[in-house]
Structure 1
Amino acid sequence: MATDTRKVMLGALLLLVSTVLILGPLGLPVPTVAAGVAALGLAAGALLVGTSEDGRPV
């Protein structure tokens, strides 16, 4: 099976950035809007990684 490395890299980057945004640097509180955007980023990153291979996504 071929893997689209661009999708994997972009998805991993979205997952990393969104995780850092949700957890917040140094435990500072995260605004609600930023947490919502980060949650969407986590969903998009998971979707990109999940659909990076040929065939049906899980």
Structure 2
Amino acid sequence: MLERMTKGESNKQIAYNLDIAETTVKAHVSAILRKLNVHNRVQAILCAGDIDFAAYLRR
């Protein structure tokens, strides 16, 4: 979902492309924002760019 957010897709577009409800997308986006401790999508995208996911997954 975060990858689709970085492409600028709206919740509605993400829901359509993944064939899920828009409310489900909103819930996941909210969870992402909460986990990254940010307030909006732009901050989440910038924050995610600083994360070394490969190192995180090796734990």
TM beyond 0.5: no
Shorter chain as denominator, the TM-score bin is: 0.3 to 0.5
Task: Output the TM-score relative to the length of structure 2.
Answer: 0.35
| Structure showing greater Rg | 1
Task: Output the TM-score relative to the length of structure 1.
Answer: 0.36
Structure with the bigger RCO (C-alpha within 8 Å, sep 6+) is 1
